């Protein structure tokens, strides 16, 4: 069947013209001279990658030929000549769905009627086990009677069965209609067609693709797999709610959440048509203010497990600290050189089973190790990539300032998995190199070694400085390490996991990732329970490390983490000096310096270091760190746009949301704090976010809600005396002195054995609540040189002095707290009532007219 100019023959069919062409072949108009009818013939381009493709196409075409339905283009014949294939089909005198929509401007009812016809055709095909796999507007033909006919059934999938679904150069124009499971290479059923139907319907009703109009198919597929589509009502406010809900169900990422079949979709469309008839008199016209592409650029997805605000200072930063320290290269005094490379975090639930989860963690661990010490490359900490999980690759590259992305993917069968690594140049978003390997599900150590080997092939111009790939651990212990790593966010069992890591260290003291994970768990345990014993455990764990590992990056970073939390300024400085000599990426060094100063209360130095980091690389973590320093200095209004910028770069940046909520609280907008934290999902809030939510209720005098909230904090963090002390204040306000005393005694008992400044501050507050003024002041004096001079400490001091009756000292600390940015609304409580009626506070009230405003307002209301 050589290419010719019409007229010519394909079999017995006389070709008289060309109807169109595409990646699969050319469609001709022809005449069946035996039956005297016009037909359409698709001559398929031969697939060089498969010697049997034509046989499978022929078999499926013969099956489709048995279908007779008014909404499916009939296949009449298959012509084979010299291993080439042509399909002889019913000729439809009309236009594609895209042309029909553009040229005829149908109304909503006409569109729904047409979509129902497509459903009927799909239902018939699905009933005999045939799925389309390439349903799109160009494969829907509409004749002059407005009858829709589906064409090209089943051909696309068979024709591309050997193609690489992750390569842009293999895209043949159908990426935008592909279901997530098809893009991921998973088994398909009829529900993949329902997703494609949803894309088609969304375009029909909204005139836009649900996944935007980005010019990179790679980006579009990334959105299909990972990003939520914009609600249809935002693009077309005139759509009935039931129709919008149907579109949402069709476009569900999980096939189980889609309608069961096309017949069910047709039934819902019938109900919507009935509703339209009943409401035919209504006319609505609203203005559309967004586009699908704009929605994806600014989309906010926050489904990830939330971290606490206090953890954001280092727990969010500490994860970055460990990953950054893992990127150490040999000593250099030069400025940052090389390309930034980032690892694309697999989408959530990428690995369906426990075994695939462990294998995925093993591959990621190997990739991080393999990229951490390569000539000419600077590894962006994986903790940053994790916060961008689910965003498009272009958005990730922009947020991470990465010139290269390494995109790993794993597709698993029963006993083994196919792992692929793609190196993407972000300047033009092209795949510049790729490697793949088969990995066994039950051989994680071997999988780690194979992954490291593939990285060497992938990056021949960036050789590793350290060629040692042996993890120095037994297969069973490595398996357990992976399991513990996978469960590192399970706060309820942290103490158990720490004990298991202690046992692993005894058998594998040279396996350095243990020290990273142990430090991370200790910090999480420290912030969830306020238990200081975790730091003691970390000290013992590090002391047991072999001396030969003293200069290893994992050990340096763990020691730095410990020094920061122990307020050991001298040790922290020494460890930072070691990292300064080693880190090629000076931005990371400046960031860690900012974290160090932030924890020590040296906020101006923290601000300066964060700005130096940002001068070298824009990173949402660096922006967040700068916002933290500004917030601690009382510049909440300056920090706010920075936090909004950090959130725009990272859809999952819950640390930024937490700090923004805390700043709104400090600035006297508790209702905004409640709104922000509620928007994140109350069931997902960590202890510190919950604590701030409780404070917002307390400031608004919603005492019952505040008490209930603080009680939940006490459950989450049983060693947190702060929550108990606020519950005592609430009990006082509600005239429950006995309960208040009991809570204060509990708080004192919890903090009695602590000698750090925060524990001593809790003791002082408890003594004040119990009427033990001398003990309270005596305890306060013990932290005068160690506690940071920030608004949190000064507000606590004001609470203590006002409670003990030392009004002069209370006044001084109230003023200082106000100067540091706390809103006067924080002092509109029963505890600070003396400030509003005593003459010796008159000058303070004059300087801050908003003080006692709530009390004056309540008095006026009472008089009325």
Least confident of 261-270, 434-443, 453-462: 434-443
| 623 cis-preceded (ω within 30 degrees of 0) | no
- Arithmetic mean of pLDDT, 113-136: 89
* Spatial CB neighbours of 577, under 8 Å, sequence gap ≥ 6: none
* CATH number for 254: 1.10.510.10
Residues 79 and 101 in one domain: no
Identify whether the C-beta of residue 400 lies closer than 8 Å to the C-beta of residue 340. Answer: yes
Residues 16 and 107 in one domain: no
Closest C-alpha to 501, from 540, 551, 550: 540
pLDDT digits (tens, 9 = 90+) for 622-655: 888 999 898 888 788 888 888 887 777 665 667 7
End position of a domain, from candidates 59, 74, 90: 90
* CATH number for 409: 3.40.50.11830
Residues 34 and 125 in one domain: no
Identify whether the C-beta of residue 371 lies closer than 8 Å to the C-beta of residue 377. Answer: yes
Residues 122 and 260 in one domain: yes
Q: What pLDDT is recorded for position 683?
A: 64
Look at residue 579 and tell me if it is in a domain.
no
End position of a domain, from candidates 440, 464, 488: 464
Closest C-alpha to 528, from 491, 484, 498: 491
Look at residue 174 and tell me if it is in a domain.
yes
Q: How many alpha carbons fall within 13 Å on the CB side of residue 306? A: 26
Strand order in the sheet with 377-379: 377-379, 339-343, 404-412, 416-425, 430-440
Look at residue 854 and tell me if it is in a domain.
yes
* CATH number for 73: 3.30.200.20
Q: Is the pLDDT of residue 39 over 90?
A: yes
Residues 99 and 26 in one domain: no
Residue 18 CA to chain centroid, in angstroms? Answer: 48
Q: What's the CA gap between 581 and 832, in Å, rounded?
A: 51
Residues 369 and 260 in one domain: no
- Arithmetic mean of pLDDT, 778-793: 86
**Residue list, annotated binding site:** 42
Confidence of residue 142 (pLDDT cuts 50, 70, 90): very high
Look at residue 42 and tell me if it is in a domain.
yes
* Exposure b/e, 110-144, CB count within 10 A at least 16 = b: ebbebbbbbbbbbbbbbeeebbbbbbbbbbbbbee
End position of a domain, from candidates 90, 111, 139: 90
What is the domain range of residue 200?
A: 95-298
Higher-pLDDT residue of 297 and 128 is 128
Residues 794 and 854 in one domain: yes
Look at residue 837 and tell me if it is in a domain.
yes
Closest C-alpha to 102, from 258, 215, 180, 207: 207
Residues 207 and 269 in one domain: yes
Q: What's the CA gap between 606 and 610, in Å, rounded?
A: 6
Residues 179 and 124 in one domain: yes
Look at residue 794 and tell me if it is in a domain.
yes
Identify whether the C-beta of residue 71 lies closer than 8 Å to the C-beta of residue 121. Answer: yes
Q: Is the pLDDT of residue 150 over 50?
A: yes
**Residue list, annotated binding site for ATP:** 42
Q: How many domains does the chain have?
A: 4
Strand order in the sheet with 37-44: 8-10, 13-21, 25-32, 37-44, 84-90, 75-81
Residues 348 and 417 in one domain: yes
| Residue 386 CB burial class (10 angstroms; 0-12, 13-18, ≥19) | middle
pLDDT digits (tens, 9 = 90+) for 334-358: 344 678 898 988 765 555 577 777 7
Look at residue 173 and tell me if it is in a domain.
yes
∠ CA 414-418-423, nearest 5°, is 160
Residues 47 and 138 in one domain: no
Residues 27 and 169 in one domain: no
pLDDT digits (tens, 9 = 90+) for 795-823: 999 999 999 989 889 899 999 888 888 88
| Alpha-carbon torsion angle 791, 793, 797, 803, nearest 10 | 90
* Spatial CB neighbours of 75, under 8 Å, sequence gap ≥ 6: 61, 64, 65, 67, 87, 88, 89, 90, 153
Look at residue 760 and tell me if it is in a domain.
no
H or E segment to which residue 148 belongs: strand 148-150
């Amino acid at each position: 069947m050589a290419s010719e100019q019409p007229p010519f023959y394909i079999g017995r069919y006389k070709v008289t013209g060309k109807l169109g062409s595409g990646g699969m072949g050319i469609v001709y108009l022809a005449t069946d001279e035996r039956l005297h009818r016009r037909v359409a013939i698709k001559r398929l381009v031969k697939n060089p990658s498969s010697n049997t493709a034509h046989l499978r196409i022929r078999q499926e075409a013969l099956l489709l030929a048995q279908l007779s339905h008014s909404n499916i283009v009939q296949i009449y014949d298959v012509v084979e000549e010299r291993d080439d294939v042509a399909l002889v089909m019913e000729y439809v005198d009309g236009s594609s769905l895209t042309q029909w929509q553009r040229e005829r401007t149908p109304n909503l009812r006409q569109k729904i009627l047409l979509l129902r016809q497509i459903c009927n055709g799909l239902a018939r095909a699905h009933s005999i086990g045939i799925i389309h796999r390439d349903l799109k507007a160009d494969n829907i033909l509409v004749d002059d009677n407005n009858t829709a006919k589906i064409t090209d059934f089943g051909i696309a999938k068979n024709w591309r069965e050997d193609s690489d679904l992750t390569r842009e150069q293999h895209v043949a124009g159908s990426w935008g209609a592909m279901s997530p499971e098809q893009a991921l290479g998973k088994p398909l059923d009829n529900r993949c067609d329902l997703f494609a139907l949803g894309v088609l319907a969304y375009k029909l009703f909204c005139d836009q693709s649900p996944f935007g109009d980005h010019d990179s198919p790679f980006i579009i597929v990334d959105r299909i797999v990972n990003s939520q589509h914009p609600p249809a009502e935002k693009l077309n406010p005139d759509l009935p709610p039931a129709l919008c809900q149907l579109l949402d169900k069709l476009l569900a990422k999980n096939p189980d959440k889609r309608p069961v079949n096309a017949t069910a979709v047709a039934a819902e469309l019938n109900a919507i048509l009935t509703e339209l008839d009943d409401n035919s008199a209504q006319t609505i016209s609203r203005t559309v203010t967004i586009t699908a592409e704009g929605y994806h650029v600014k989309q906010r997805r926050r489904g990830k497990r939330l971290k606490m605000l206090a953890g954001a200072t280092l727990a969010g930063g500490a994860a970055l600290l460990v990953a950054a320290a893992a990127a150490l290269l040999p000593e250099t005094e030069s400025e940052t050189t090389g390309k930034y490379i980032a690892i694309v975090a697999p989408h959530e639930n990428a690995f369906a089973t426990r075994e695939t989860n462990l294998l995925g963690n093993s591959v990621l661990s190997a990739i991080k190790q393999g990229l951490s010490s390569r000539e000419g490359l600077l590894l962006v900490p994986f903790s940053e990539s994790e916060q961008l999980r689910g965003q498009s690759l272009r958005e990730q590259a922009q947020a991470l300032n990465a010139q290269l992305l390494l995109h790993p993917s794993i597709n698993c069968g029963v006993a083994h998995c196919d792992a692929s690594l793609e190196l993407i140049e972000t300047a033009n978003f092209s795949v510049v190199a790729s490697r793949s390997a088969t990995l066994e599900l039950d051989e994680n150590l071997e999988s780690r070694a194979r992954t490291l080997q593939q990285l060497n092939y992938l990056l021949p111009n960036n050789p590793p400085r350290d060629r040692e790939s042996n993890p120095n651990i037994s297969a069973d212990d490595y398996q357990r390490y992976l399991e513990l790593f996978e469960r590192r966010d399970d706060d309820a069992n942290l103490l158990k996991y720490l004990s298991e890591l202690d046992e692993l260290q005894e058998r594998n003291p040279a396996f350095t990732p243990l020290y990273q994970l142990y430090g991370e768990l200790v910090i999480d345990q420290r912030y969830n329970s306020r238990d200081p014993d975790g730091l003691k455990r970390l000290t013992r764990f590090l002391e047991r490390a072999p001396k030969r590992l003293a200069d290893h990056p994992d050990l340096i970073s763990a020691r730095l983490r410990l020094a920061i939390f122990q307020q050991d300024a001298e040790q922290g400085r020494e460890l930072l000096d070691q990292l300064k000599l080693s880190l090629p990426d000076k931005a990371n060094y400046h960031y860690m310096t900012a974290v160090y100063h932030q924890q020590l209360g040296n906020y101006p130095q923290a601000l300066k270091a964060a700005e130096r980091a940002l001068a070298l690389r824009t990173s949402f973590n660096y922006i967040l760190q700068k916002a933290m320093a500004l917030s601690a200095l009382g510049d909440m209004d300056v920090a706010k746009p920075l936090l909004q910028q950090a959130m725009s770069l990272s859809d999952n940046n819950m640390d930024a949301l937490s700090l923004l909520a805390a700043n709104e609280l400090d600035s006297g907008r508790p209702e905004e704090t409640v709104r922000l934290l509620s928007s994140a999902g109350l069931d997902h809030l960590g202890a510190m976010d919950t604590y701030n939510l409780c404070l917002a209720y307390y400031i608004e005098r919603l005492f019952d809600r505040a008490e209930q909230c603080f009680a939940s904090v006490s459950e989450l963090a049983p060693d947190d005396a702060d929550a108990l002390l606020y519950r005592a204040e609430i009990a006082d306000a509600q005239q429950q002195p006995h309960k208040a005393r009991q809570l204060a005694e509990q708080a004192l008992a919890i903090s009695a054995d602590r000698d750090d400044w925060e524990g001593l501050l809790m003791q002082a507050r408890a003594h004040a609540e119990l009427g033990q003024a001398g003990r309270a002041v005596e305890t306060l004096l013990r932290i005068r040189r160690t506690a940071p001079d920030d608004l949190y400490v000064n507000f606590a001091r004001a609470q203590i002095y006002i409670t003990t009756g030392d009004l002069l000292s209370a006044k001084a600390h109230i003023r200082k707290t106000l100067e540091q940015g706390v809103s006067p609304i924080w002092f509109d409580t029963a505890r600070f009532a003396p400030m509003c009626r005593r003459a010796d506070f008159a000058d303070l009230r004059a300087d801050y007219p908003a003080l006692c405003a709530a009390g004056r307002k309540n008095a006026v209301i009472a008089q009325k």
